[in-house]
Amino acid sequence: MHSGWRRKCSGAAADEGQDLSPLQYDLLSSFVRPGHAAVFGDLRQSIHGYRGIRDWQVVIDALGTGQEQVEQLHLTFRSSQEITEQANRVLEATGSAQPRAQAVPRPGPPVHFVRYGREADLVPLLAHEVRRLQREGARNIGIITRSPEESQGLYERVKDRKAFPIDSRTRNFENYSGGIAVVPIGVAKGLEFDAAILIRADAATYSPGTPYDGPLLYTAVSRALHHLTIFAAEAFTPLLGEVPAAQPGPCPISGLEISPAGFHRPPPHLTGRARKAGQERGPGANHQEMVRTYDGRFDSTPSYEGDGSRENPWHDR
């Protein structure tokens, strides 16, 4: 490609500049006149830190004239104060020297932490949380995983259970028209959602001993505009900072029961319950004949429990 160019560009702009390598900046300098490039990025989101840059001086040396300066933008308009504070706690836990973000004065609901003790509880708990967020007004919900493989696996589990409509976005967001999407962090970077649900935020997935896990977690947390829910099996990763202890009893956010061990229990109508011999099948029976509607509730044929409509007082909610 280099041999095909006979003159340099009059200017260039690059986004996500923290993820370009020094070699890529050297190549870019071959096509851009010194001092005629603008690079935008956030070193706190260096999810490809093994190949990216660690400071902006690399960019100045490659593309500048020596007179350039780095302009730091600290104010964030994307996330609520509560979500921004959680993102900053990730930076503090990782010992990052990067400046902390400052949120505009826009308070929101608290970050929701959900622990589960059994892997079989993940999808029912996730279905309940999606429905709760939709009732709160969230239209675009991003379910964020660490890897594409994990996204695809979760997508298949949700589809098999018919828990809720979901879109798999393991590679890109082309033709995305909103709704619920499961997406790995590498694809979610640069996007934003009304609500973000982070899956498996435990120490096995985000290890304090792995240098690049902190930026991955920070990037995932900062995708949320208004609502942030963080799931973990057993214990949360120390990279989240201090997590409020769950108190046994009804969860003040979701209403679900929290066990004495601190685990959220999925609602019975999403996990299935035993049906006595001869009992009629009703809207809440969660049997093969029951079909979940678009929001996760049930439809069924008429029975003594009613017709499955939302006006029916027996309808599972």
Report the CATH number at residue 144. Answer: 3.40.50.300
* Separation of first and last alpha carbons in the chain: 60
Strongest mean pLDDT among 34-43, 138-147, 170-179 = 138-147
55 and 99 housed in the same domain? no
Domain match, 186 and 242 both: yes
Residue in 157, 134, 131 with CA at minimum distance from that of residue 145: 157
Q: How confident is the model at residue 51 (pLDDT cuts 50, 70, 90)?
A: confident
Return the pLDDT at 135.
94
Average pLDDT over residues 109-123: 95
Alpha-carbon radius of gyration of the chain: 23
Confidence at residue 284, expressed as pLDDT on a 0 to 100 scale: 44
pTM of the shown model: 0.76
Task: List the one residue out of 140, 139, 131, 240 whose CA is nearest residue 192.
Answer: 140
Average pLDDT over residues 142-151: 93
156: pLDDT strictly greater than 70: yes
Same structural domain, 224 and 246: yes
- Of the candidate ranges 33-37, 135-139, 245-249, the one whose mean pLDDT is the lowest: 33-37
Domain that holds residue 15: 2-63
Query: Structurally, how many domains does the chain consist of?
Result: 2
The mean of the pLDDT values for the chain is: 80
- The verdict on residue 249 lying in a domain is yes
Q: pLDDT band for 49, please (50, 70, 90 cuts).
A: low
- In the structure, what pLDDT confidence band is assigned to residue 53 with cuts at 50, 70 and 90? confident
Determine the pLDDT at residue 298: 36
Residue 256, C-beta contacts closer than 8 angstroms, at least 6 positions apart: 125, 128, 250, 264, 265, 266, 267
Lowest-pLDDT range of 29-33, 188-192, 270-274: 270-274
Q: How confident is the model at residue 97 (pLDDT cuts 50, 70, 90)?
A: confident
Q: Locate 49 and state its tokens.
A: 């830190």
Q: Is residue 293 part of a domain?
A: no
- pLDDT in the model for residue 57: 85
Is 120 domain-assigned? yes
Distance between CA atoms of 192 and 188, rounded to whole angstroms? Answer: 8
Higher pLDDT among residues 310 and 2, named by residue? 2
C-alpha distances in Å from residue 27, one per residue of 57, 63, 84? 16, 10, 36
3-state DSSP call for residue 290? coil
Q: Are 147 and 189 members of one domain?
A: yes
pLDDT band at 175 (very low <50, low <70, confident <90, very high): low
In-domain check, residue 292: no
The answer to which of 120-129, 175-184, 308-317 has the lowest mean pLDDT is 308-317
- Per-residue pLDDT, averaged over 189-209, amounts to 92
Q: Are residues 31 and 125 in the same domain?
A: no
Q: Are 147 and 205 in contact (CB under 8 A)?
A: no
In a domain, 238, yes or no: yes
206-263 confidence digits (pLDDT tens) = 999 888 898 899 999 999 999 999 999 989 999 999 999 999 999 999 999 999 999 9
Does residue 278 fall inside a structural domain? no
Tokens at 14, concatenated: 């690059």
Residue 173 confidence (pLDDT) above 80: no
